[in-house]
Amino acid sequence: MNKKLLALLALLMAFMLFLAACNNEESATPDDGENGSETEPGTGGEEGEEGEEPASEELFPTVLENEGDAIEGGTLQAALVNDSPFQGIFSYVLYEDAYDAEIMAFASNIIFDTDGDFLLTNDGIASLEVDGEAKTATITINGDYKWSDGEPLKAEDIIQPYLIIGHPDYSGVRYDADFQNIVGAVEYHDGKADTISGIEKVDDKTVKITFNKVSPAIYSGGDGLWTSAEPSHILKDIPVAELLESDAVRVNPVTLGAFKFDKIVPGESVSLVRNENYWKGQAKLDGVVIETVPSASAAKAMETGEYDIALSFPTSAYENVKDLENVTLLGRQELYYSYLGFKLGKYNYDTSLVETDVEGSKMGDAELRKAMGYALDIEQVSEVFYFGLRERANSLIPPVFASFHDPSLEGYSYDPDMANQILDDAGYEDTDGDGLREDPNGEKLQIMLAAMAGDETQEQVINYYLQNWKEVGLDVQLATGRLIEFNTFYDKVQADDPEIDIFMGAWGTGTNPSPSGLYSKTAVYNFSRYSSDELEGLLQAIDSEEALDAEFRAKKFREWQEYMAEVSAVIPMQFRYELMPVNDRVKNWDYGYDTEFDYIDVELTADAPVK
Amino acid sequence: MNNASELLTISDLHTGFSIKDTYYNAVDGVSLTLRKNEILAIVGESGCGKSTLATSIIGLHNSNKTRVIGEIKFKDLNLANLSEDKMNKVRGNDIGMIFQDPLSALNPLMRIGDQIEESLVYHTDLNQEQRKARVLELLAQVGIPNPTRTARQFPHQLSGGMRQRVIIAIAIACKPAIIIADEPTTALDVTIQAQILDLLIELQKETGAGIILITHDLGVVAEVAHRVAVMYAGQVIEEAPVNELFNNPKHPYTRSLLNSIPQANSNAERLQVIQGLVPSLINLPREGCRFAPRIPWIPAEAHEAQPALHEVAPGHLVRCTCWKHFYFQSEDEMGGIVE
Amino acid sequence: MAEKQTVDVEKKTPAASPPTGIQVIAREFAKDKLAMTSLLFLIVLITVIYVWSFLIDQEQLMRISLRDQMAAPGEKYWLGADKGGRDILGQLIIGARNSITIAISVTLITGIIGIAIGLITGYFGGWIDNIFMRIIDFFITIPSLMIIIVFISIVPKYTVVTFVLIMSVFLWVGTARLVRSKALSESRRDYINASKTMGTSDGVIIFKEMMPNLSSILIVEMTLNFAGNVGLETGLSYLGFGLPPSTPSLGTLVAYANDPFILENAWWNWLPASLLILLLMLAINYVGQAIRRSADARQRLG
Amino acid sequence: MWKTVVRRFLVMIPQLFVLSLLIFIMAKFMPGDPFTGLITPETDPARIEELRQKAGFYDPWYIQYINWMGNAFQGDFGRSYTFNQPVANLIGTRALNTFWLSLLSVVLLYLLAIPLGVLAGRYQDTLLDKSIVFYSFIVYAIPTFVLGLISLFFFGYELGWFPTSGTVDINAEAGTFGYVWSKFYHLLLPAMVFAVLGTTGVIQYLRTEIIDSKTMDYVRTARAKGIPNNKVYSRHIFRNSLLPIAAFLGFTITNLLGGSIFIETIFGYQGMGQLFVQAINGRDYSVITTLVMLFGFLTLLGSLLSDIIMSIVDPRIRID
């Protein structure tokens, strides 16, 4: 036995040495981005900003500047961090997989540029002119541009996406209420018309689209407007039903972007080369190779210089890359917020209307809801579990939407005393001495929380929140006794399962911040089932024609945020950051939303990634 | 009987097994001689050490856990301390072995022919064709009706008797000087038993080999053996030519054994047999007569302190002196005896 | 050869006084220090785990304590703390209790079903064998890991009990098949035929005569099954189909290593559980070997 | 023998049928559906309802099953909603990948485990044996993903000996030797990890079998023939001990298919195991059902293969 123990110990030692060796390389040099960064360091202080000015500080640089001399050409090695293969549908009208979108970004077919609020501008391939009264939009191609196969970009290419999405054989989610806003779309979809009557080719470079209504959302690519082009010279001959499987989508898609597709190994890697026909000029890189990398090894891959950049890098691996000397971390806030929702009614699927019943709901007391918000120690969770890559959210609009976000909102901050105070004042007292509060009628109060299952961290975080509530005397239990797997969660929440009193969800907002899809009276996704006339009014105002005036819209957005904060049917919890580790041989990378950055500017300063 | 006819001489052989780091002798001071043209039978109850004796001779014991002390003289070799390589030259070649259970003694996955041929490969210079021919010849010799077909068959396709014939063919393949047959007929039907014994006798006459026949079946002994050694608890307690032994058994144990054979002509009187079992190896008495515990009604003075083999007639050896005082208990006296 | 000679010795022993199975086993253990040590280790370990786990307030243990996040082993926590600042040692004890309970239950349930069915089909053969073989064939067609995963995602209340039951439904098949093939060849042996002619009842033959002869393969199978069940539970945790978080298990602890950061930097989170699994397996194996040897010896008794 | 093979194939049909029914019903019982995952503020719930309707998710399950089966008989296993591809296309390439991975793993597994098992059995109770047994248990106790990650980090990233993800180099031209080599090279590390992890069972069984075989009478016969010890092992003990291993070959292969889930995820290797987990999470019914049936079919094939191998190796068993 002794010999065996020794052998075992030896094995352990060897193993730990190996691990130690892995760590030594990264022995703490405080990273200040030796490559220099746009944001001055130090502004993102960690203390004393609770709730005051959240979500506006930049924690990470978004731009990587590199003083080194660039080499001629070179190939950028990109890791696409994903535990499953990408779908490989390289078409903006057909794709559903976010990873496909990451790849397509290098070879984009997008025709409009956007500004910091993700609103369309006229600086891209095409410009947009909206006529609110006539309810039309006119899209004009700004010059003589070519597809990567040399074919000129023409009006038909702008129209092509509409013909695909509206087609009866189209099987994706994009044929939606927005799309039906285009005049003639429904007839075309139902096969009653051969074409969409509201879309009209004015000349070779101009397309005019007529809508049933026009709202400011059109500038976010809403209302049915489509923001990318499809190569009609190739796609028009392929039946829509066969499009998904066609080579034009999966094998050799044609693009308008800085790069074009060269080779594709389905699901695992893509090689892109410089697009000679790119309208802005020639990319300095020869090409880009993108490979799928499992999340568990993403950090290691960056550390060992296997890749130059990592797309969709998991923030949970932050600790493994934050001190790397060969890698600079770029970061930006995601279009995302997580929230705590209170069930305040039901959805009537027959009338397609939310039926709010505040009085009859267990969570009907706004004071109770507020107290629950103050009781959560989200700050600590963000700091400890998410390394500061998440932060307490103050509103239901991510700060990225600079013009719409309301930074003055206080939101909730961790304040158990305040929570206790509120509960005491509202009559929630512990009458039977079990350490838990009863409701004002003296009845036992047990609140059932539905939360999505996730990784280990998620489980611990939820546990911690339950603890937080218990500390202020609230008995919150997990509905079903455990975290709920994603599909089941949405099944139950959407079906207004009586077992659920409160739930923790999250939304990725996309670039259109209009909240009506999530909070309007008709919205199925209005999971808290809260609706009021005032809320409806605000939501309608945000998307009204008057709101084509940016300032009016911004004002209504703020009013809406304040209203939501006051009602507290939904309490914002966290905003989060996303990261992009970039190898130090990369030059001129910009990860910001609001930039002039273009892939053609990216250069490399060495033949191989720095190790 | 001169020296030249002696094939194998075993002198004072001790074979011990290691249990908890102590060696216990399963064969304890056996001396025997096997001569040419002779069938020497070794009889005894199970566990008396006769099989161990056989495996000791041919060296099929585990060298790690077994200790063999003494001399097994064969030609100029002492088989008791021969190296594995040298032993392999003797096994199968000079000494053939026949095992008890023909059902399991053949490799189920190999053709009969190949199994016989194997020993030829290692012990003869015959080329492949010659070996094949020899295999057929052997099969014919052991009385297998269709050698060519049988050679191609697998063991499970043969009957027990046929398999035993095959095993005998393997044993005699290299015309060994000695054949050790360890209970060769125990597992067979009575009719087949007789056939196999006949075959053995016939073969022995043909080849002039010495045969050590290990058995517990005194009927078999009476039929084929020339000389008999009776073993008890690791020792030879009586050794005599076959007629002498059957007609004039001396040792109480031998007498008891012989009494256990029902005689067709005897009256249906109760057989006088000594009760009890062979003592286990670990509990074996190391001093004095090992049979003493089973005949407690014989006074202790009758036994020798260091029982030795005494020649009581030419070629007739008996261990201890207790036989002189031995009588069978009457039925009344029996009963209270355990072991 | 060692085996054979020991056997020859044993063969003589019982001739004097046939010892009971337990005596043989006891002697086997007395002879084999490693097996003895392993047995003692197992007994002590399991006792300690079960007794200790009684003393642990599980709710208190599973409390998140952010101050202690990833605390390295030290005075406060002998084995450090996990991401939520929860004591690893406590989790290890509770986890070991849960895992051992699961593994033992599953091993026993599947073992009993598998051995019984395997022996019966192998012994009787004929139509009984045919029917059971079709059933077994069908179960073997089922990719059990996959169906288990599907099952887990259906079961509304997923607890240790449901987990044990789900696993048991599928895992008896391998044992049954193995035992059957062995029993089939065993049933053709002489001693079985002999017993049959002597009028021994089938039940006695199957369980008293045949089973001991198969024990060597059975013990290997059960040892591997036990470890395999721990492994399966670990694997399911890794894939996200493990036990609920409030139920720590060796599997969930080892699955901490799933996070590369923990794998590299916080060995105390997952290594102790891995080592415990290893030690358990080694000990069970050595004990199993000793039992196997004693069973083997009896086998030669006839 | 061919008659048996054909008969066995016929027997498979009802088995697969029952299996498909079982898994189909179970899959339908899982909460959620492929479209649940598409929910974002930007998706239109009405459109999702429409798609569900179109996909037939509101039909009674037996209608769905009959439709599915009907199409399956014509080689159409439905559409994967999460991958937006016909299931047949989707599984095709991955099945091949998993097949190669399993094949190489099995080969490596036996190359590694058989010598170790034989040595352990032959030199039973020696230091060598004890180390091998110890090794086999260590390997068994190490969770797949720990060994997988460590070897990936060490051999793949630190030493750079092996590719770290994918199944083939993007620059390899299909059809060339380089392409085949690249495929093989990508397989090697995962297959080795796989093989190492699988050794325990084979070593244990082989070792036990050899120890048991050593005491067999026919081995004693062989030794009594004066055959050198090595030959006794190679000709008599070894072959006979391999029988149970051969009997479990088919089983081993299908087990590997199941175990591929972990390895494929860690090494970013596109195969069926990985696909299965995704399909479960995405509630991709058609993929789940097809995969389970495919695995079932492969298992049946594996057990048939086992039987055929056994009948070749063991003359006592003849299937006809």
Tell me: do A208 and A349 sit in the same domain: no
Number of neighbouring beta carbons within 10 Å of residue A546: 14
The domain containing residue A485 runs over which residues?
336-577
Question: pLDDT tier at C14 (50, 70, 90 boundaries)?
Answer: very low
How far, in Å, CA of C128 to CA of C118, rounded?
Answer: 11
Answer whether D153 sits within 8 Å of A22, measured CB to CB: yes
Give CA separation, D303 vs B71, C137, C175, D319, in Å.
55, 9, 15, 13
Taking all residues of chain D, what is their mean pLDDT, rounded to a whole number?
Answer: 81
Please tell me which residue of chain C has the smallest CA distance to D209: C217
Is D56 among the domain residues?
no
User: What range defines the domain where residue B80 resides?
Assistant: 3-225
Mutate to test the interface with B, among C1, C5, C31, C193 (most CBs of B within 10 A): C5
The packing angle between helices D87-122 and D272-282, to 10°, is 130
pLDDT digit string (tens) for A80-135? Answer: 998 888 888 899 888 888 888 889 989 888 899 888 788 888 888 999 999 888 89
Q: For the segment D45-62, what is each residue's pLDDT rounded down to a tens digit?
A: 778 888 888 877 788 888
Q: What is the pLDDT of residue B282?
A: 67
User: Rounded to an integer, what distance in angstroms lies between the CA atom of residue A99 and that of residue C198?
Assistant: 74
Query: CATH number for the domain including D143?
Result: 1.10.3720.10
Portion 123-162 of C in contact with A at CB < 8 A: 153, 156-158
Is residue B150 domain-shared with residue B32, that is, in the same domain? Answer: yes
Average pLDDT, chain A: 83
pLDDT at A501: 93
Q: Find chains touching chain D: ≥3 CB pairs under 8 Å.
A: A, B, C
Q: Let me know whether A525 and A391 are in one domain.
A: yes
Residue showing tokens 């998410």: A386
Determine, yes or no, domain membership for B245: no
Predicted confidence at residue B55, as pLDDT, reads 83
Residue A418 confidence class, pLDDT cut points 50, 70, 90: very high
Strand ranges across the sheet with A199-203? A126-131, A136-141, A206-210, A199-203
Q: Is residue D20 part of a domain?
A: no
Same domain as B203, residue B262: no
Residue A410 lies in a domain: yes
CA–CA min distance C40, chain D (Å)? 19
Q: Domain for residue A558, yes or no?
A: yes
Residue B200, in any domain of the structure: yes
Q: Are residues A344 and A237 in the same domain?
A: no
Task: Give partners of C (≥3 CB pairs < 8 A).
Answer: A, B, D
Q: Based on the fold, state whether residues B50 and B14 are members of the same structural domain.
A: yes
Judging contacts by C-beta atoms under 8 Å, the chain A residues touching residue C62 are: 463
Among left, alpha and beta (phi > 0; psi -120 to 50; other), residue A435 is: left
In this predicted model, what pLDDT tens digit does every residue of A237-269 receive, in sequence order? 999 888 888 899 888 999 998 999 999 988 889
Q: Say if residue C54's pLDDT is above 80.
A: yes
Considering A334-343, B20-29, D198-207, the range whose residues carry the highest mean pLDDT is A334-343
At D84, is the pLDDT very low, low, confident or very high (cuts 50, 70, 90)?
A: confident
**Nearest residue, CB atoms, D44 vs list A177, A289, A297:** A177
Which range of A105-109, C118-122, D78-82 scores highest in mean pLDDT? It is A105-109
Both B14 and B152 in one domain: the answer is yes
> What pLDDT is stored for residue A503 in this prediction?
93
A18–D154 CB contact, under 8 Å: yes
Q: Give the Cα separation of B209 and B204 in Å (integer).
A: 5
Chains that touch A (3 or more CB pairs under 8 A): C, D
Q: Kindly determine whether residue C147 and residue D23, on different chains, have CB atoms separated by under 8 Å.
A: yes
Beta bridge pairs of residue A327:
A583
Cα distances (Å, whole numbers) of residue D20 to B40, C146, D14: 71, 13, 10
Which chain B residues touch C15 with a CB distance below 8 Å? 46-47, 277-278, 280
Q: Which of residues 386-415 of A touch C (CB under 8 A)?
A: none
- Residue C276 is part of a domain; what is its CATH number? 1.10.3720.10
**Does any domain span residue C231?**
yes
Residue C197, domain member (yes or no): yes
Gap from A51 CA to chain D (nearest CA, Å): 26
Domain for residue A536, yes or no? yes
Tell me the percentage of chain A whose pLDDT exceeds 70: 91
A570 — pLDDT class (breaks 50, 70, 90): very high
ipTM for the predicted complex: 0.73
Q: Which of A204, A221, A242 is the last residue of a domain?
A: A242
Number of domains in chain D: 1
Report chain D residues whose CB lies below 8 A from the CB of B124. none
Q: pLDDT at residue A369 above 90?
A: yes
The answer to whether the CB atoms of D44 and A178 lie below 8 A apart is yes
Q: Do C8 and B19 touch (CB under 8 A)?
A: no
Query: What does the pLDDT read at residue B185?
Result: 78
Mutate to test the interface with A, among C64, C87, C234, C279 (most CBs of A within 10 A): C64
Give the pair of three-digit tokens for residue A518: 């999530």
Please report whether residue C297 resides in a domain. Answer: no
**Does residue B208 fall inside a structural domain?**
yes
CA distance A362 to A373: 16
Q: Do D218 and B97 touch (CB under 8 A)?
A: no
Most confident stretch, A185-199, B181-195, B292-306? A185-199
> Rounded to the nearest 10 degrees, what angle do helices D285-313 and D272-282 cross at?
150
- HEC per residue, A203-253: ECCEEEEEECCCCHHHHHCCCCCCCECCCHHHHCCCCHHHHCCCHHHHCCC
Given a cut of 80, whether residue C42 has pLDDT beyond it is: yes
Q: What are B65-123's pLDDT values in tens digits?
A: 778 888 888 888 887 777 878 888 888 888 888 887 777 888 888 888 888 888 888 88
Beta-carbon separation of C6 and B65 below 8 A: yes
Chain B environment of C190 (Cβ under 8 Å): 103, 187
Count: domains in chain A: 2
What are the chain D neighbours of A291 within 8 Å (beta carbons)? 165-166, 170
The answer to whether the beta carbons of residues D314 and B109 sit under 8 Å apart is yes
For residue A464, what is the domain's CATH number?
A: 3.10.105.10
The residue range of the domain holding C174 is 58-282
Note whether residue A331 is domain-resident: no
Task: Kindly state whether residue C127 falls inside one of the protein's structural domains.
Answer: yes
For position B75, which CATH number holds? 3.40.50.300
Domain count, chain B: 2
Q: Which of A315, C234, A302, C150 is nearest to D262 (CA)?
A: C234
- Cα–Cα separations (whole angstroms), residue D144 to A112, A150, D149, D250: 48, 50, 8, 22
- pLDDT top residue among B229 and C224: B229
Same domain flag for B270 and B212: no
**Is D35 within a domain?**
no
Name, in order, each residue with C-beta under 8 angstroms of D32's C-beta and a sequence gap of 6 or more: A486, A487, A488, A490, A491, D283
CB atoms within 10 A of CB A116: 13
**Mean pLDDT calculated for residue range B179-193:** 80
Which tens digits make up the pLDDT trace of D170-196?
777 777 888 888 888 888 888 898 888
Split into its structural domains, chain C has a count of: 1
Q: Check pLDDT > 50 for residue C224.
A: yes
Q: Is residue C10 pLDDT above 50, yes or no?
A: no
| pLDDT at residue A320 is higher than 90 | no
d(CA A606, CA C207): 74
- Closest alpha carbon to C173 in C217, C218, C110: C110
Residue D177 sits in which domain range? Answer: 87-317
Q: What is the DSSP annotation of chain D?
A: -HHHHHHHHHHHHHHHHHHHHHHHHHHHHSSS-TTGGG--TTS-HHHHHHHHHHHTTTS-HHHHHHHHHHHHHTT---EETTTTEEHHHHHHHHHHHHHHHHHHHHHHHHHHHHHHHHHHHHTTTSHHHHHHHHHHHHHHHS-HHHHHHHHIIIIIIIS--S--SSSS-TTSPTTSHHHHHHHHHHHHHHHHHHHHHHHHHHHHHHHHHHHHHHTSHHHHHHHHTT--HHHIIIIIIHHHHHHHHHHTHHHHHHHHHHHHHHHHHHTT--SHHHHHHHHHHHT-HHHHHHHHHHHHHHHHHHHHHHHHHHHHH-TT----
Distance (Å) from the alpha carbon of B277 to chain D's nearest alpha carbon: 26
Which of D26, D149, D212 is facing C260, going by the closest CB pair? D149
| Helices within chain B (DSSP H only) | 50-58, 84-90, 112-123, 128-141, 147-152, 160-172, 190-207, 218-224, 242-247, 252-259
Residue A601 domain-assigned (yes or no): no
CB within 8 Å of A452: residues ≥ 6 apart: A458, A483, A484, A485, A486, A489, A504, A505
Q: Is residue D103 part of a domain?
A: yes
The one-character DSSP state at B7 is E
Reported as type and span, the H/E element at residue B78 is strand B77-78
Q: Which residues pair with A546 in a beta bridge?
A: none
Residue A376, pLDDT above cutoff 90 = yes
